[in-house]
Amino acid sequence: MSGKPAPAAVPASSFLGKAGPLVLARLFTAGVTFSIPFVLARILSPEEYGTYFQLFLIATTLYYVLPFGVVQSLYYFVPRAEEKRPWLGQALLYISGAGLVAAGLVWVLLEPVAHHFNNPALLDYRAPLAAYTAFLLGSYPLEISLTSQGRTKHSAIVYLVSDVARTASLVVPCLMGFGLQGMMLAMVGFAFLRYVATWVVVPWGTTGPLARAELWRQQFIYAAPFGLAMALSVPQQYAHLYMVGVVGPALYAVYRVGCNQLPVVDLLYTPTSEVLMVRLGELDKQGRLEEGVVAFREAAGKLAFVFLPFAAFLFAAAPEFISAFYTAEYLGAVPIFRVSVLGVVLAILPMDGVLRARGHTRAILYSNLLKAAVTVPLVWVGVKRFGMMGGIVSWAVAEVVGKSALLVRVPAALSTSERALRIRDVIPWRELGKASLAALAATVGVFLLRAVTVQTWSGLPEGFVWRALPLAVAGVLFATGYVGVLYATGVRPLSLLASLRSRGAK
């Protein structure tokens, strides 16, 4: 038996509490942005709605591929650096150039993409899409630079202001009758203001040159494997969206409704993963890496209590959800929607954050190579043989394969010379078990409710309030069942929520 004492558990307020401002800011903006797809589904025709999804699919693909890991590398270098300005400046200079590349790619490739999507209307938005993508990409480091410096309150404010402005830019022009063209012009203005703010905020309070050749080399070498992984991951993850796009914009809108989910994953996963990366960097610098596995289990355990019931409720109440928020016109999206909620479950373990924080970016690259190898034949055969359902199922299978490949690398990333970890050591089994039991019990309740009330709900009048009534009743029943089972297993939900939003000392 080793005489070395076990590492003390990291208190909930010690590092997850730092994510509190980010989570609260995103919680508020989630309430604001929550309305975007539902409002647009009612204002735009199915053809325009499908075109909207296709335009932002193109911009989003470039937004996540072209940073090439350089901006994300700030999470690794800035917490360890005495002089932070060169790391921040190099990211700014690189991403501005990447924005120009993105604009050029949009201009050149939009015509063949429009042909593939059977949607020539995309070409009407070539100029605003190119400008929007360039400015948005150039503003990529805005929140990341603040979070990597531990300035989570400032990052939360930026998230808040930016998401509110983005929502207004998307919705207000359509409500005023300017349609999709007005929306795109407003989004160009929004992205431009973000870009200007990025150059003001990111270097603020730092000194020294914006770049150093020797530091840039280190930054690029670190970023390259992760950048290559993203260059594979994003097209792979969106492959089903591009393949299904051949069905035309109206039917494509139905598919995208099925793929769309509430922003709870981004709301909790992203800030938790970001703060976890910073925390692991601090522990490494202080020679306390043995505490890293405790921090990882803590983060994953708390995400499990939120993500598992959320996914279970969306699966059980999918018909009520689609009918209430997208109207009965999009009920054909229900089977697709139920498959897509698997993505929420797979987000419980923040594995990519651990690997990036520990410099194991090649593991992410290898995982995405594997996913790409699996995705290409799956999507091709799935869409050709089974249509839209084949597309979403192929995505789900590839995601499981990729997450499994990451999981096998996490123990090595968190191991120390004194203790070699295994997969079973990093998974919060108790939290997963209790959350799964409670979510399953609540899900059964929702299916039983539908079985006994189907005739009652079918006679309801049209309109959002009436169509939302079945969803509200199902939600109350699910929440009551979930919380009740948690209490029976010894979990106190209010204490859990308090630990998620608590503020920790820096």
In this predicted structure, the answer to whether residue 14 has a pLDDT above a threshold of 60 is no
- The pLDDT of 345-368, averaged and rounded, is 86
Q: Is-contact 234 65, C-beta < 8 A?
A: yes
| Residue % of the chain over a pLDDT of 70 | 91
CB 388 within 8 A of CB 247: yes
Residue 344 pLDDT: 92
State the average pLDDT over residues 191-213: 91
Helices then strands (H, E): number in the chain? 23, 0
Q: Is the pLDDT of residue 500 over 60?
A: no
Tokens representing residue 287 in the block: 């020679």
pLDDT (mean) for 180-186: 96
For range 415-438, the mean pLDDT: 91
Please tell me the distance from the alpha carbon of residue 467 to that of residue 469, in angstroms, as a whole number. Answer: 5
> Contact, 396 vs 335, CB < 8 A?
no
Burial of 335 (0-12, 13-18, 19+ CB in 10 A): middle
DSSP symbol at 246:
G
Q: How confident is the model at residue 426 (pLDDT cuts 50, 70, 90)?
A: very high
For residue 468, pLDDT beyond 90: no
Kindly state the DSSP code that residue 329 receives in the 8-state scheme.
Answer: G
Q: What is the pLDDT of residues 104-130, one digit of tens each?
A: 999 999 999 999 999 999 999 999 999
pLDDT digits (tens, 9 = 90+) for 289-328: 888 888 899 889 989 999 999 999 999 999 999 988 888 8
245 vs 232: CA distance, rounded Å: 20
Task: Using alpha carbons, select from 406, 430, 424, 252 the residue that is nearest to residue 330.
Answer: 252
Instruction: Tell me the DSSP string of 330-359.
Output: GGGGHHHHHHHTHHHHHTSS-HHHHHHHTT
DSSP state letter for 247: G
User: Using CA of residue 24, residue 29, residue 32, residue 33, what is the dihedral sign?
Assistant: negative
How far apart are the C-alpha atoms of 177 and 43, rounded to whole Å? 9
Residue 191 has pLDDT above 80, yes or no: yes
Decide if pLDDT at 268 tops 50: yes
Residue 7: is its pLDDT beyond 70? no
**Torsional class of 349: left (φ above 0), alpha (ψ -120 to 50), beta (otherwise):** beta
Answer yes or no: is pLDDT of 12 > 90: no
Residue 442: which pLDDT band, with cuts at 50, 70 and 90? very high
* CA neighbor of 241 nearest in space, from 394, 106, 361, 370: 394
The Cα–Cα gap between 352 and 346 comes to 12
> Of 20-29, 201-210, 263-272, 344-353, which range is least confident?
20-29
pLDDT > 90: what percent of the chain? Answer: 56
For residue 9, which of 298, 276, 204, 284 has the smallest C-alpha distance? 298
Give the tokens for residue 126.
Answer: 């070539």
Amino acid letter, residue 175 = L
Question: How high is the pLDDT of residue 8?
Answer: 40
Q: State which of 133-147, 318-332, 347-361 shows the largest mean pLDDT.
A: 133-147
SS3 424: helix
Q: Where are the domains of the chain?
A: 35-224
Nearest to 22 by CA among 145, 151, 141, 129: 151
Q: pLDDT band at 26, cuts 50/70/90?
A: low
> How sure is the predictor about 357, in pLDDT bands with cuts at 50, 70 and 90?
confident
Question: With 60 as the cut, is the pLDDT of residue 484 above it?
Answer: yes
Contact 416/290 with Cβ under 8 angstroms? yes
407 alpha carbon, distance to own chain's centre = 18
What pLDDT was estimated at residue 287? 83
Picking from 296, 503, 255, the residue whose alpha carbon sits closest to that of residue 390 is: 255
Mind giving me the DSSP string for 70-117?
A: TTTTHHHHGGG-SS-HHHHHHHHHHHHHHHHHHHHHHHHHHHHHHHHT
- Please give the mean pLDDT across all residues of the chain: 87
More confident residue, 496 or 63: 63
**What's the burial of 12, exposed, middle or buried (CB within 10 Å: 0-12/13-18/19+)?**
middle
Q: How far from the centroid of its chain's Cα atoms is residue 136's Cα?
A: 17
